[in-house]
Structure 1
């Protein structure tokens, strides 16, 4: 399997190189970009397939040369205007085009959709998609990538302290959400609440969140949604530039620093980044908490052993030619983070006593490393495009702690409680075919091979090998310019080979020669067929209606089939079920948006019926493992999910706007009649922002904002799940650009939980210990962009 993937890498590179000798026909696209009043607009023009672009002159004129005959997706963007996407077909002669852009004071509405299979505009796809750029992520960066997305409607996070978080879309997380980084699905140990998403928050330029079923294009784990992380545009020819960002957070003394440099010389491109983050134990607005009826101390309002250290890097190199582009990226995420001392075993006053060093990372702790090697190639074949994404990932997760009662025997591993090592090989191929002005299609193939092994003095997950692959066909029909239909079908197969695990039985640390079977050998094969259809009706310039219907599936994971051990991240003994079948869902999404120059209103209701929904349920029994808690097992029951999101943005007068984002999720286990666990409560975020007037070139692009989040009481809970009271949070901030000796500088300051509110996050891991979330925090960020050559 490894040899096959390496061979595929080699063939791809050789194939790409050979294309450079093809036709040298040099075609030109000339055009003019105009406002609705017919005035020229200096907008940015980019060809998606080549990451090649130009900035129009002040009269709106632009020229892009060096093109072959073929079909190209042109993106036109400019601040204060809605984006425009056009498919341009080149035959054997040059083309001249004219593009009109409408004014819009709504920032996020002006962003294009690039991860959409057909690269068309923000209103033409049938699914609900949220798009954010680097400016948004930098403004909302609170230390992790997932937390930066929380302000989008329908998005929540499961947190473990302040350094570990994972995204939740419409009440679903773990293996029901796909995170794609540069076209490759992020594969780690994402099945645990205490397993964070190994993504450097500074190394993200653009995010597109697809809400709702996306299994057709992306695969089994896209049942709840997909988060696509896209790299920034390739630098223009002759450019050498970069930036430095430094940030500080007062609550846990977090220092974050990152440096990036990128360049393009004769269409040979490169980009490199290094990030370092260090943080201390974080503060909470209390000096005690109650667990199992005991009142326990929180010394100096700091949770002991929640400090951490992170070191990340990424390096990209590639080539951009008239035949397409090819890049190769190597990145590595490294994090060592403490786990609150009372979160492993039973908390008591003795092990909560502070040692006086808030930066020390003691036991228990986790040490995570995620290495990725990704090849992205886009090749022009006649008039169509072939996209090839290849990836290798190595995920190493080490959970360290002092030996305790439910260890499985003598301890040659020292303090290594659990070591999980996952290798993943991925290959995705898509052929994009533009048939005519009304029809275009995609044929795709995806495959992945995973191999997991384990070590440590505890047992949770056995060694396994998993092979998955699928084919899909997706077609778009433009019945009229304002009415777009799409439909597709997909077939997938999977094979899990899970090894039997026999645990030696000891008597006073001496082996008895007997064994206990923790899980049997499991050989399971799966095959699924799914399909979806949707439409986008652009009723007029201001109104857009989208409908998406689909049948999705999800293949049970090895952890759901075979786990049998203490999962400290969830405070329970988890037991897998080797007889689980694939989940099947029937989902419907509707999205209506009304957008004017100064007003945006969007409503997105959804409904889903799940046949054989897989979840963890309490058995009502205590674990037979010493020092453990209750036993939970994976079960399957039918369930329904329904709810919706609403968002609005109103520019009341120039430079002043109000915003609103709300979400509600209702689910029900149809067999038990109870809600499903870890359901986000109703939440609404309101905000106001004022753009400060420009004083001079020394002080410009200033803004000030204030936001209030109301979260309702969550009393729709599963059996043995605590009710969580409602709460309200206040956040505010300001920022501006300035120049110091001709050097541009971007400064931002913001405060979270400014009222130091004592509250519980229903999705937080520490909610199970009755521990509140972090208290008041002030964040400061300084960004220094620089040009070495332009």
Structure 2
């Protein structure tokens, strides 16, 4: 195995072979040494712990500037930037007693890998552990707990993330460092990711085309995979969750092992859920689903380069709900149903030179989606194959100016093998180039960049002219220049202001360009428009944050102007008893924002009170409201920290989410009434002699409220969302 990896990576280029060591002592404010402080360098996948004398050491490090994070459960975290340019560097750190429990995260999704306090763009960073404490049924349901993020759902198994009113192909998903492509244009095509083996998610709320090209017009969800084990260590874990409402079960098993240079991990998961139950006791027929997920990774690193290969295979078998039928707790989905087989392979390489570095990422995504109507013979069978690459060169610093030049590309093929065809066989090719710079001085940071992209879409002719399912061949090129300018300043030690102005674009997708037939999910005959233009937007964002040891608040405001916004509109004709809709374009505007506070009074530092409010309004320039705009939401949480003998990192939380009435509705939508949901949580780490495990207990919709979310696709049929749900989660370190 080692010989294979040496052949693959060592032959790529010649490196400077500098080896550095970072070491030091961690103490508290009284100069007492601290044991078991986690010391990590995220960019290098390096991590260790301090020993009984508070001493740590990280060796075999490349040259360059890196963020080093020091964390301990009882102390506020510390993040320091260290420049490694000689064989041995000493860094001693003093940690203060925990008050805010705030970690200054290193942000991966914004390419400069800055700490959030240095970043010109406000990026939400949430741990998957936080979602687990909330007892969510799916990953996309957890995303919807982040201010500014919502969820278009079809039952419990299908969910599509919404960022400030934009969804589908307007939100780009990254996982394992590569863009996820899974026919996301479809209303019944969900996120397609399992939280197994994912550590955290970063949310960019706003256009990120400078960094990612087409489809990042509305924002980016960047999922960070779990870390490898520390050097010269081994770990294994088993976790189990139970869901009362769906009689569901979620099982995960993970194994990690690492030497000084080599790292390996493997993780498997299996989820199964019956139909979800309503407050009146009925179950929503065919909302059941089964999911099998497998992830593995292997990494090699030394002081000159690192290379990480990750692979994920996911199999989803999910029902497509249509009505309230016979109540059953059967788990095998009935007809109609979907079977989705997805594979994601990624290879990430970092090459470290004396004063610069090169990132080279390669990705392969396979998405095989089948739909079964009334038999095991699929009526719809789409196979999507995607290859992409991303190369970024970090130039040597010129004073305090950091500059990155990069090139990204994608090659994609879509093929049909079923009787029904939603979109024709097609090829899509992307190429984009960017340059961006970051400059810091005193308490200020400015970042700017420009980018050019080209997308070519070519399709094949299919069917008979004048009949449903006829697709005329097209060959279109879409070009776009985009730019971004961001500024951050610390007005005082506790007050930070960020202002960003950025443009983005989205090339029309295949459904919008070529559709010619009945969309079964909405009973519409949809006709595409081969002459559609790019959606092009420009958005202004303002972020203000204040924080001291006991009080924090934030305010985020945005204004988003979108030219050539694509939507469907009835043309007044009827085909086979179905109203006909055309894809058309018009200019649109979205505006709103999020605000929140966090209060943890002294001396009751164990008490945390948080409150947040989010709002977005979307209109076409002609005055009509845009569809799928989430209702205003007010979220309030009281959380206490619990500690006693044998019980660590304990918590109890009470959360009340209020969703206001949504009367600003688009075409084909109906208004939604106001409702509130009460949720409870309790958990921590239980220790008994040498036996230790983590426990999470949740009760969601405690009052069993009957409600319909504005973004539920079952709303048109008058079907309510899930009733009361108790969740029990256990995790054992083996």
What is the TM-score with the length of structure 2 in the denominator?
Answer: 0.94
* Deviation at residue 362 of structure 1 after TM alignment: 1.3
Partner of 2:631: 681
Is 1:316–2:297 an aligned residue pair? yes
1:582 to 1:20, Cα distance in 2 relative to 1, 3 A: closer
Counterpart Cα distance in 2 of 1:116 and 1:417: 41
Alignment of 1:123-522 (within 5 A): 123-286=117-280, 301-342=282-323, 353-354=325-326, 356=328, 358-402=330-374, 415-436=377-398, 438-480=400-442, 482-503=443-464, 518-522=470-474
| SS of match in other structure, 1:121 | coil
Contact 1:50–1:324 under 8 Å retained in 2: no
* Deviation at residue 140 of structure 1 after TM alignment: 3.0
Counterpart Cα distance in 2 of 1:651 and 1:218: 38
Partner of 1:291: none
Counterpart Cα distance in 1 of 2:522 and 2:287: 17
1:515 to 1:762, Cα distance in 2 relative to 1, 3 A: closer
Contact 2:48–2:231 under 8 Å retained in 1: no
Contact 1:389–1:427 under 8 Å retained in 2: yes
* Deviation at residue 703 of structure 1 after TM alignment: 1.4
Counterpart Cα distance in 1 of 2:563 and 2:687: 59
The CA deviation string for residues 515-546 of structure 1, in whole angstroms up to 9 with x for no partner, is 66622111101111100010110222211110
* Deviation at residue 651 of structure 1 after TM alignment: 0.9
* Deviation at residue 394 of structure 1 after TM alignment: 0.8
1:164 to 1:193, Cα distance in 2 relative to 1, 3 A: same
The CA deviation string for residues 173-211 of structure 1, in whole angstroms up to 9 with x for no partner, is 101111111210010011122211111122211111111
Is 1:715–2:676 an aligned residue pair? no
The CA deviation string for residues 225-260 of structure 1, in whole angstroms up to 9 with x for no partner, is 111111223211221102111011111111110101
Is 1:636–2:597 an aligned residue pair? no
1:749 to 1:354, Cα distance in 2 relative to 1, 3 A: same
Select between 268-277 and 229-238 the one with higher mean Cα deviation: 229-238
Is 1:654–2:605 an aligned residue pair? yes
Contact 1:79–1:110 under 8 Å retained in 2: no
* Deviation at residue 31 of structure 1 after TM alignment: 3.6
1:32 to 1:478, Cα distance in 2 relative to 1, 3 A: farther
* Deviation at residue 472 of structure 1 after TM alignment: 0.6
* Deviation at residue 40 of structure 1 after TM alignment: 5.3
Contact 2:608–2:638 under 8 Å retained in 1: yes
Which of the residues 535, 550, 556 maps onto 2:487? 535
Select between 436-445 and 489-498 the one with higher mean Cα deviation: 436-445
Is 1:551–2:503 an aligned residue pair? yes
* Deviation at residue 721 of structure 1 after TM alignment: 1.4
* Deviation at residue 107 of structure 1 after TM alignment: 3.9
| SS of match in other structure, 1:495 | strand
Alignment of 1:612-761 (within 5 A): 612-622=564-574, 624-625=575-576, 629-652=578-601, 653-671=604-622, 673-694=623-644, 696-697=645-646, 699-761=647-709
* Deviation at residue 471 of structure 1 after TM alignment: 0.7
* Deviation at residue 75 of structure 1 after TM alignment: 3.2
Select between 584-593 and 320-329 the one with higher mean Cα deviation: 320-329
1:200 to 1:394, Cα distance in 2 relative to 1, 3 A: same
Contact 1:279–1:309 under 8 Å retained in 2: yes
| SS of match in other structure, 2:715 | helix
Contact 1:71–1:384 under 8 Å retained in 2: no
Counterpart Cα distance in 2 of 1:664 and 1:609: 16
Counterpart Cα distance in 1 of 2:307 and 2:222: 19
Cα RMSD between the aligned structures? 2.4
* Deviation at residue 88 of structure 1 after TM alignment: 2.8
* Deviation at residue 597 of structure 1 after TM alignment: 1.1
Contact 1:39–1:59 under 8 Å retained in 2: no
The CA deviation string for residues 339-367 of structure 1, in whole angstroms up to 9 with x for no partner, is 1243xxxxxxxxx5427553342111111
| SS of match in other structure, 1:519 | coil
* Deviation at residue 493 of structure 1 after TM alignment: 0.5
Counterpart Cα distance in 1 of 2:497 and 2:96: 19
* Deviation at residue 86 of structure 1 after TM alignment: 3.9
Counterpart Cα distance in 2 of 1:37 and 1:386: 43
Is 1:26–2:24 an aligned residue pair? no
Counterpart Cα distance in 2 of 1:81 and 1:154: 30
1:24 to 1:501, Cα distance in 2 relative to 1, 3 A: closer
1:610 to 1:34, Cα distance in 2 relative to 1, 3 A: farther
1:736 to 1:515, Cα distance in 2 relative to 1, 3 A: closer
Unpaired stretches in structure 2, ≥5 consecutive residues: none
Counterpart Cα distance in 1 of 2:624 and 2:29: 54
* Deviation at residue 270 of structure 1 after TM alignment: 0.8
Counterpart Cα distance in 2 of 1:235 and 1:50: 13
* Deviation at residue 739 of structure 1 after TM alignment: 2.4
Counterpart Cα distance in 2 of 1:35 and 1:535: 35
The CA deviation string for residues 738-763 of structure 1, in whole angstroms up to 9 with x for no partner, is 12451211111111111111111111
1:707 to 1:149, Cα distance in 2 relative to 1, 3 A: same
| SS of match in other structure, 2:379 | strand
Contact 1:71–1:383 under 8 Å retained in 2: no
Counterpart Cα distance in 1 of 2:385 and 2:351: 28
* Deviation at residue 395 of structure 1 after TM alignment: 0.2
| SS of match in other structure, 1:362 | coil
* Deviation at residue 560 of structure 1 after TM alignment: 1.4
Counterpart Cα distance in 2 of 1:36 and 1:587: 44
| SS of match in other structure, 2:512 | helix
Counterpart Cα distance in 2 of 1:542 and 1:41: 27
* Deviation at residue 79 of structure 1 after TM alignment: 3.8
Counterpart Cα distance in 2 of 1:318 and 1:716: 50
* Deviation at residue 596 of structure 1 after TM alignment: 0.9
Select between 137-146 and 264-273 the one with higher mean Cα deviation: 137-146
* Deviation at residue 89 of structure 1 after TM alignment: 2.7
The CA deviation string for residues 566-602 of structure 1, in whole angstroms up to 9 with x for no partner, is 2233343322111111111111001010011122101
| SS of match in other structure, 2:463 | strand
The CA deviation string for residues 98-145 of structure 1, in whole angstroms up to 9 with x for no partner, is 556566533455433233322221121121211112421322352321
What is the TM-score with the length of structure 1 in the denominator?
Answer: 0.88
Counterpart Cα distance in 2 of 1:682 and 1:227: 21
Counterpart Cα distance in 1 of 2:648 and 2:4: 51
1:716 to 1:22, Cα distance in 2 relative to 1, 3 A: closer
Counterpart Cα distance in 1 of 2:226 and 2:398: 30
Counterpart Cα distance in 2 of 1:707 and 1:211: 24
Partner of 2:100: 106
